[in-house]
Amino acid sequence: MIDHKTLEPKIVDTVAKLNQLYGAAPEVAVVLGSGWAGAVSHVEEAQHLPYTELSAFPQPKVEGHVNEIVVGKIGSQRVVMLRGRAHTYESGDCTGMAGALRSLARWGVKLVLQTNASGSLRPHMPPGSLMLISDHINAPQRSPLIGEPGSSRFCDMSAAYDLELRSHAKALAKERNQILGEGVYCWAVGPQFETPAEIRMFAAWGADAVGMSTVPETILARHAGLRVMGLALMTNMAAGLSDEALTHALTLQQAQVSGERAAGFLAALVASFATLPSLQA
Ligand code: HPA
């Protein structure tokens, strides 16, 4: 549960620092999941700042991981990229990104584009495929908004993944001959992979992809008034759908193989937002 007494001053401090260092907020924030780190190389005039300088951001527990924001431009679109997210499987806490997302919203960011690595439940989306997230299933039925005061906690999730921005992404994919699936992302807490029986159940529920992130952040972002988009990179067929045993190494390896192309599409998408009146208003 979020401790507002301790989080609020951190958010105030973080927003002041972001304003001081970078001025007005970029319209677009990108959360980089596994396999998507290559997107950073597309950022021009990039300025890096570690999360340790931003008290509302998740503070890394393991050294060696890159946890930083990268502020800059892709084409004429200003952007802030977040490298490193807090996962529920690290601590059992699903509120780890609350301070970061609320700071971005208060700074003036309008859109959070989430990226992740996922297991595919659909044969037409083999490893390497990209999927635009149309909706999600919160399978564990856990909420980062538990304990939140006021009526804003009852936030509408019926169009959580922005329809206008999805249409825009699909048109761009067509233009670039980029195959882009669209479907429902199902959250599994992890860190263990799912069983084949769980995957059959998720498929029967209407899930197209499964992964261990994104859903708590989407809930937090919508509650903070941010627009949300999600892009999932399929790194493997989900449990029971291929002969291969699932390992972290396998997902990382596939993420590396297809990550560069995914990052290229992501960069083109971010650049194209500069032409969207509803984001620039
Ligand atoms: N399951 C959960 N999370 C994942 C998977 C998966 O198969 N692949 C990549 N992240």
Asked if residue 214 is part of any domain, the answer here is yes
Atom of ligand 1 nearest to the CA of 188: 2
What span, in angstroms and rounded, lies between the C-alpha atoms of 172 and 175?
A: 5
Atom of ligand 1 nearest to the CA of 211: 3
110-145 per-position pLDDT tens digit: 999 999 999 999 999 999 999 999 999 999 999 999
Range of the domain at 256: 4-276
- The whole-number average pLDDT for the span 143-164 is 95
The pLDDT assigned to 36 comes to 93
Q: With pLDDT > 70 as the criterion, what percentage of the chain qualifies?
A: 99
Q: Could you list the active site residues?
A: 34, 65, 87, 89-90, 117, 212-213, 236, 248
Task: Give the residue from 167, 170, 144 showing the smallest Cα distance to 157.
Answer: 144
Atom of ligand 1 nearest to the CA of 239: 7
Q: With pLDDT > 90 as the criterion, what percentage of the chain qualifies?
A: 88
Q: Is any ligand 1 atom within 6 A of the Cβ of residue 117? A: yes
Task: Give the residue from 173, 48, 185, 26 showing the smallest Cα distance to 107.
Answer: 26
Q: Is any ligand 1 atom within 6 A of the Cβ of residue 255? A: no
- The whole-number average pLDDT for the span 81-95 is 94
In terms of pLDDT, which residue wins out, 11 or 3? 11
What residue owns the CA closest to ligand 1's atom 6? 119
With a cut of 80, say whether residue 61 has pLDDT above it: no
Asked if residue 38 is part of any domain, the answer here is yes
For residue 170, give the CATH number of its domain. 3.40.50.1580
pTM of the model: 0.96
Within 10 A of 44 (CB to CB), how many other CB atoms are there?
10
Decide if 243 contacts 126 (C-beta within 8 A).
Answer: no
Which H helix or E strand runs over 258? helix 248-272
Asked if residue 261 is part of any domain, the answer here is yes
Which residue among 36, 186, 192, 193 is best mutated to probe the pocket of ligand 1, counting the most ligand atoms within 8 A of its Cβ? Answer: 193
Task: Give the residue from 98, 60, 100, 62 showing the smallest Cα distance to 80.
Answer: 100
Which residues make Cβ contacts (< 8 Å) with residue 206, sequence separation at least 6? 137, 184
Q: Is any ligand 1 atom within 6 A of the Cβ of residue 232? A: no
With a cut of 90, say whether residue 46 has pLDDT above it: yes
What residue owns the CA closest to ligand 1's atom 5? 119
- The whole-number average pLDDT for the span 216-237 is 97
Asked if residue 271 is part of any domain, the answer here is yes
- The whole-number average pLDDT for the span 265-279 is 96
Q: Which pLDDT band holds residue 62 (cuts at 50, 70, 90)? A: low
Asked if residue 204 is part of any domain, the answer here is yes
Asked if residue 281 is part of any domain, the answer here is no
Task: Give the residue from 38, 28, 26 showing the smallest Cα distance to 233.
Answer: 38
The pLDDT assigned to 244 comes to 85
Q: Is any ligand 1 atom within 6 A of the Cβ of residue 111? A: no
Any idea which residue has 């807490």 for tokens?
Answer: 189
Asked if residue 149 is part of any domain, the answer here is yes
Asked if residue 218 is part of any domain, the answer here is yes
- The total of structural domains in the chain comes to 1
Q: Report how far ligand 1's centroid is from the alpha carbon of 248 (Å).
A: 9
171-221 per-position pLDDT tens digit: 999 999 999 999 999 999 999 999 999 999 999 999 999 999 999 999 999
The pLDDT assigned to 281 comes to 72
